[in-house]
Structure 1
């Protein structure tokens, strides 16, 4: 569909005579011409009036030129009321005459007639319709079979007998897809008589002006003359013409009596095919007409009498509604009366649904089809099937008046009715005065929703339509403020949009300070909505020309008002219908009413802006090869009017040059800057071809850009340049290298690949430049180039080849050097273009790297110096010309950073040429005599170098100073070991020292502190002299590690033979307190001091003598003798003999874990009860229930061994045998849980819990 350009009024024609002239109908022909018909009192266009009124028909060309006029009449009154055209171009006019016409005799009163004209004005034939009384052709349509269907107000006609007073058919047809004459031409507009509405046209594709409401059946007009015309008429359809059915009604004396309606079918040849009357004994009126999907014709209206059809009778009320179906051949299929009861019922609208059903709506003043009347007039909607079966009826109303005035259907089958109500409706509250309403029904009669639309004053819907988006638009007028918009004064026109679910989208008021009414609606394919009506005032900035003027306003789907145009003269003007041409791109024509400037009728032509062709431009393909066979094709497309030839201008741009880089075909004219192209008449496209000129010139891609330019008779749709590209297909060379780096001494080469595209037929030599840090014939050689120097080279493509390769082979050497590069850059030459414009670089990676090593592991004597550190040297195997870095870090071993040393980490950097660097690690001193401890130093992540074999070293921190000469320990060093074979002296310090001699005769002096003299007497050690004093601390002779038996007596100062490898001289008898044996069967004798004697492994004999001694047998079957003093004896593992001697002695039974039989059975030679103690380790004897420090209550004495297992105690003494048992599971009997661990040598001794103590 097209939208109307409000700025264009392309033609205004007056039809003048000396007296009054009236247009009653207007249509367009298939050739675009405009035909108007009506009547005149005088001579017209050089033709002589025959007397009284003569009918006339005038043809105008689309540009407004009058082609011809014909008068048709006799001596009496003659009038054209309807006009249509056929697909062959013929023009049919119908009307009535009171006299003879064209040689045909009047039958009495007014006879209807139809006349056919050819497009050149030649009259083909005229036919009168026979009847003895009043016959008026009030409307006409053409059917799908190209027949014409006039409708009449008539008495007896074509031998059909009139049934009563008169039947009325108001000329409402629907030949074309349910579009009736209320949409397409002339309707009654809005006439208010005794508060009644005459001719309400709501512009919804089939709801027309056929609603006449008269309170008492009598219309009194003071002036005696009503002239009704106007409306918009679209271009004719392919077959059949939509006519101006209502034509002209003239009332002479204020009284209208309307005769029977009739619907004759007029064929193309002029022969009357059929005519039928319908009606009862009284007046009958038709208000609506539509066609079904099967070609049938449906008319509806109301009757004052008994139609006496299908057994249906008049209800006895004021009048009943009816609907009648005619087949295309004129056969009446059926009539149905739709009556309420004793009051009146009227159909106001009729529509054919998408399912083929026929829907009628109107109002009733009584019960209908079993539904109860609500009072004061109810709206109704009824559905009929094509066979006449009534499907359903629904009343819609409240306690006040309700009236359906408009109807539309949607593509989903829904039916919408609208009208007015004076009260509340469907649960919605009336806003005051009268409200408009809209109600949606589903095809099965289900009411979906109702919405009231109103202000506090009176509101009325007059038109209704469904938009392309499925929305429903209603229009009318309101006397109040509506939906938040302020009334401009008097009554304002309004338009409201509803969505299919009933949601109100928007409302717009359209008004002046006077009365304004929207009487018709239509929509365009782009969704635009056009509102038609009339106004008594100025509207949207346009000045009223006098009395009331017609207007048309365009709205967008979002409610935005696009434009408004007033149309009128100094008297009244009214648009009561609007139609958008939907099949043809032609102008729209509007008869806007009668203006009283001398009594001339007029016709106005409105141009449609989109009818002016719109030109768009596209190119396909968007690029072609310069030397290819495909062309750039620019397609110019026009939409809109394609009837005539059209010349379109364009500008030429781009980088390509016309007649050098390309030629063109298809243009009317073409230069380097401008051009033009012609559309043939009727053509929608025109093409221009760009054919590239082939050459061998290497050049950039080139473009041809066309831009539409302004011209006459079109608008520009594509505003930007449309560019096509001519792709240069001459040879282009690119360059790449793979791999991008290789090792100097490796087997892989750098391979440079030259690739050409475009013409590859012939051999081609390509130039390149050489750069980089590598030196040709020194650092590398090449393979594949036609020529190659240190600065440039050439390579040749074989004929047909697309690639050529050059290999760079690095020269292996042992020189440590930087990585080196070879960079090739394409250079200009003949027969190619450079595709790769930057240098392509490959790298020769130097793989002759120096190695990095650390100096060897070191041992540091803790405390030997202060402050103290260990220093490592980091060394490169070879000098390098590059900077070299390496990371380093220390890590704990048994030494702990922060306690034994200070951790160090970082990056060491060698400047070019430097090969050695040092790392210093601080050592932390303490006065603890502890085992050797270690930490590590590691090198990682070298750059420009590799790690050598010695990248990780270990540092040992020791407390022992070794010396091969006579040495005195420094103050902060704990231990001293003599080395070598010299008879030298080792002197300690004030600390606790461990002093070890060498294999010679050494003098060892510990001085103060608890010193240990350590001997590993497995080899010959000579004769050593130990110098100690009684105040020199608690000193020890240590023989750990000695595997042969030793014999040492701490109380002898003379030379004693310890074993075959060692002789020992003590400086005094009682200066050494402790002794530790080796793994042999040692014999150690103490002195008068408190000795600690540890036999170690082996079957040892330990004798404490005087003093409170501690004797530890260790592994083996030991004999421990405490002597005098309070001694502690622990036999250790195996079966030992323990002799405490005199004093309060302790016999220890313990191990480092739970009890095991390896502990052995120790023999206590004499246990002095009350003095001695048996000490048990809770760790070893873990079944004991007592805790450490408690008295041993988990103890029992039994008479003999056989009772031990049955005892509840875990420690059990068998008095009969003197044995001590560990009863591991108490009283649970089991041979594997009772263990003997000691045996007392005194006969008949009795033990108690007090003789025991528990330790950990």
Structure 2
């Protein structure tokens, strides 16, 4: 006797995935086949067990697999991707086996010289994330303006590892801080050959910019005489700043060789080129003489000036002990803060002004060496936004035409920008009204416009206008301002309606010709039925009762006519009316003018009538609940409001 066991595994979904569903249950069927042999007789049995796991539309999920031999549970990560089936009615989740494509998220990245990241180097893994992979980051030739070992640690190549399922990694390059005032410097990098089955995408090179954080120094060496009371002799003392790029990140101010017999009297105000202002010192230092000190004001300094203690050379926070200081024009009016960060994120270029006053009589001084500005900036990083427009298109018959959407950036970028797009059903359905379309748009530096084309499927089916959508998702280096473009498909097939809203007959007169017209496609035959229902004119008294009557349009025919004659009687009565109604079209649909008024003018007398009449239909057909005649002219109602 022998015994053996085989294990079988399969994965499936419990239902198609609709547009609005966020997740489904995937089932894993574990089936064991057990065989027993006894004296040449084989007995087999199957044991089936189903396990379930929640699966998002797109993403990874970890499930438990059984080892084939020992039936132990092990963790297995499955990567699912969304797949739309032809016809647009069903969506499935399919296993993705791709290791993915690797590329930089941008063409440029940046870091401050002190190591603070501005735009970290980012590598994206797209199109799949199955398995562990690596990719080296290497120096390009030329390597850039930064010097290895002096400006950064040369640890290239840098191996970047992605675990199974990881889709994004950042890369660190150690930066060397120095005290030199220098231009921003660059490191040129590239991606090498990846492992694990991954491939390289389009953006395989980038530039890493080291932003110098040593301040640019601007000086005015003219001495500032602090008079016994009031404004100083240079009021203001000015420094013109030019040639800086980006926005301010830090401002420092140094007063050189300052002396005063009672520093508590001195108030100093700094005003930037954009109008921001801050006190540097006010009511500090008490009565202790200062002689030839150098005072540097830095918002990140460890200490402020002393209120009453001796002031000595050093680095201090801006200090104000008493509020309510005033400065004579042309200095700007208060109130004033004591905070150098008011200048951050403003343009540094322009004229900076230093206003110095002594607010109490009896003491004077001088800033003999003038003053200097230290300004740090960083580049302006603009993140554009992405929008998509709405479009309208007329449906074809049997041909296919493209609905073209335009995707735009709010402004040009110096980085590659990508965004994913995909269609979604509205009242229009993928597979029957349009072809499901998806993909990724890439804006290279300087580009601001891209198009998405969606094939529209023409037909001869008469239907109302329909809508579908193109959705934008997953942007890189940009935000999304308008994520959805609506496409409206206008039907160009046949509509059938009366040529006019009203027709008029006279008792005893010639028959009235009523025209029924076709609009749109005329290449095929169509039919429509009409009937006459009571208004104030009554079937059998004012006109001959009519059952549903068919009107046939041959291919190419636009108009058909019917003749109507009222019953001639001898009663003196006002002009009356009945309703002409179209029903049940074939190979076409009813247009907006599918009901018309038939006015019957009396030939016995003339009576003016206008007003409102409430009706209950005497016809076997569903008819009107109310009627409100309008525009009665010469006893003839030329239009009406009515409600079916």
Give the shorter-chain TM-score range. 0.3 to 0.5
Structure 1 length as normaliser, TM-score? 0.24
Q: Which has the higher contact order (CA 8 A, sep 6+)?
A: 2
Structure 2 length as normaliser, TM-score? 0.43
Q: Which has the higher strand share?
A: 2
Q: Which of the two has higher C-alpha Rg?
A: 1
